[in-house]
Amino acid sequence: MTESTKPSAARRRSSSRLLASTSVFLKPYLTQIVIASVALVFTAALTLGLVQYVRLIVDRGFV
Structural domain containing residue 23 = 9-62
Give the span between the Cα atoms of 52 and 11, in whole angstroms.
45
The sign one gets for the Cα dihedral 20, 22, 28, 32 is negative
| Residues 37-56: tens digit of each pLDDT | 999 999 999 999 999 999 98
Is residue 4, in this structure, part of any structural domain at all? no
Q: Which residue has the higher pLDDT, 14 or 8?
A: 14
In terms of pTM, does the model score above 0.85? no
| Residues 12-38: tens digit of each pLDDT | 678 888 888 888 898 999 999 999 999
Domain tally for the chain? 1
What is the average pLDDT across 3-18? 71
pLDDT of residue 32: 98
Whether the CB-CB separation of 25 and 18 falls below 8 Å is answered with no
Is residue 48, in this structure, part of any structural domain at all? yes
Is residue 2, in this structure, part of any structural domain at all? no
Give the span between the Cα atoms of 58 and 4, in whole angstroms.
55
